[in-house]
């Protein structure tokens, strides 16, 4: 048995999630892929994967072995690059997991520039707001906001995002525009689900002068997806917490308005991280350096809620809802702001 090929096949099966997709990626017959895994399990004397008709699941032994295989294969590729003298020209595939709002508004528009700098490096960008396990999911590095998952990752803090409150003009016309944080408890609020605890996150506001306020009660609508939360806010469902850079276009178009812009609804430190067990290969190093530089110097990420208030009046200008013809269906959502929830990991 060629153990190296068997290890590579095992990693491909885990990352692809099925024997069929792994065979397609490796351009091998499905039977050959299955044979390699069976031979590897026989050699090790343990079962690495639990197979069902619907899914594959790593066993405890398989999870530990997968982490070691990923590390060993990455180290081997790095050593080969160094021997070939092409470590200055990164190549291969880099899998990156990025908070959806940052992927859409910051990194994705700039990836063309990155590709021109490193034409032999392919980046697979996963933009989502779900917490992923980097090694288990085959992710080389991630960009996340908020507390880091654990001490098994190396992280570089890139910037701090200041969150604010926003609502559609229809919502404010119906419930009134709050002039003090105490009023928020009487307005419909769109909250966020803590993916670690499963609970709804409370609202804690702060002001530059040191004042703070905890909004009593919990939001009645809660989301774990940025697109859904902002779409609900655009539809007039309530006040939502979001990063200013993510809703700037919606505020400028009048489809969302800042609410209590002197108050912030928390801060999120945005970090670039990767598994501590994984050596920083040339392709990982160049992407991390590029991403950190991009995040630190993007002026949109430094925006604060008060920066979205028009300077001439000191308060937002809600757009008057259009009067629609009788029988015409009303669509409150606007593409300019959808899919942009708060920065969270």
pLDDT of residue 323: 45
Specify the CATH number for the domain of residue 205. Answer: 3.40.190.290
Assigned domain for 64 exists: yes
SS3 243: coil
Q: Which residues in 286-301 are b (16+ Cβ under 10 Å) and which e? A: bbbebbbebbeebeeb
Pairing of strands 267-275, 153-162: antiparallel
- The Cα 42–Cα 37 span in angstroms is 9
pLDDT of residue 345: 53
- 171 and 78, same domain (yes or no): no
- 169 and 261, same domain (yes or no): yes
Assigned domain for 335 exists: no
SS3 131: coil
pTM value?
A: 0.68
Q: How confident is the model at residue 72 (pLDDT cuts 50, 70, 90)?
A: confident
Specify the CATH number for the domain of residue 4. Answer: 1.10.10.10
Q: How confident is the model at residue 325 (pLDDT cuts 50, 70, 90)?
A: very low
- What are 169's two structure tokens? 């003009």
The answer to whether 115 and 91 have CB atoms below 8 angstroms apart is no
Assigned domain for 331 exists: no
Residue 81 has pLDDT above 90, yes or no: no
Residue 255 has pLDDT above 80, yes or no: yes
What percent of the chain clears pLDDT 90, i.e. is strictly above it? 52
| 282 vs 328, higher pLDDT | 282
Q: How confident is the model at residue 327 (pLDDT cuts 50, 70, 90)?
A: very low
Alpha carbon 259 to its chain centroid, in Å, reads 25
* C-beta atoms surrounding 60 within 10 Å: 9
> Which strands, in side-by-side order, build the sheet including 121-127?
121-127, 92-98, 141-145, 267-275, 153-162
- 78 and 168, same domain (yes or no): no
Assigned domain for 297 exists: no
| 139 vs 111, higher pLDDT | 111
Residues 213-231 have a mean pLDDT of 88
Residues 98-110 have a mean pLDDT of 91
Alpha carbon 6 to its chain centroid, in Å, reads 32
Give residue 61's domain range: 1-83
Assigned domain for 184 exists: yes
Assigned domain for 245 exists: yes
Residue 210 has pLDDT above 50, yes or no: yes
pLDDT of residue 84: 63
With both helix axes pointing from N to C terminus, report the angle between 19-26 and 30-44 in degrees, rounded to the nearest 10.
Answer: 110
Assigned domain for 284 exists: no
**290-314: per-residue pLDDT in tens?**
999 999 999 999 999 999 987 654 4
Q: How many domains does the chain have?
A: 2
**151-201: per-residue pLDDT in tens?**
678 889 999 999 999 999 999 999 999 999 999 999 999 988 887 777 888
Assigned domain for 180 exists: yes
């Amino acid at each position: 048995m060629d153990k190296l090929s068997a290890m590579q096949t095992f990693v491909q099966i885990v990352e692809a999630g099925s024997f069929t997709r792994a065979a397609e990626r490796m351009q091998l017959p499905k039977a050959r892929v299955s044979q390699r895994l069976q031979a590897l399990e026989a050699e090790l004397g343990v079962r690495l994967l639990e197979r069902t008709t619907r899914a594959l699941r790593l066993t405890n032994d398989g999870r530990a072995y997968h982490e070691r295989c990923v590390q060993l294969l990455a180290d081997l590729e790095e050593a080969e690059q160094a021997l070939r003298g092409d470590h200055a020209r990164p190549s291969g595939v880099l899998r990156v997991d990025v908070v959806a709002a940052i992927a859409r508004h910051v990194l994705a528009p700039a990836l063309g520039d990155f590709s021109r700098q490193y034409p032999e490096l392919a980046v697979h960008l996963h933009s989502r707001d779900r917490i992923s396990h980097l090694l288990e999911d085959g992710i080389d590095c991630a960009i996340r906001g908020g507390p880091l998952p654990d001490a098994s990752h190396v992280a570089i803090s890139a910037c701090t995002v200041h969150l604010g409150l926003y609502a559609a003009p229809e919502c404010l016309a119906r419930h009134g525009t709050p002039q003090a944080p105490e009023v928020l408890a009487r307005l419909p609020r769109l909250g966020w689900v803590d993916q670690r605890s499963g609970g709804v996150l409370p609202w804690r506001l702060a002001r530059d002068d040191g004042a703070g306020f905890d909004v009593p009660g919990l939001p009645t609508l809660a989301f774990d997806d940025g697109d859904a939360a902002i779409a609900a806010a655009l539809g007039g469902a309530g006040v939502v917490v979001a990063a200013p850079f993510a809703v700037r276009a919606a505020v400028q178009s009048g489809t969302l308005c800042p609410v209590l812009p002197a108050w912030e609804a928390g801060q999120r430190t945005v970090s670039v991280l990767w598994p501590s067990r994984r050596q920083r290969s040339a392709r990982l190093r160049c992407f991390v350096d590029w991403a950190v530089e991009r995040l630190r110097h993007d002026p949109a990420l430094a925006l604060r809620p008060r920066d979205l208030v028009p300077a001439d009046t000191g308060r937002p200008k809600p757009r008057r809802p259009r009067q629609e013809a009788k029988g015409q269906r009303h669509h409150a959502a606007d593409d300019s702001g959808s899919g942009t929830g708060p920065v969270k990991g």
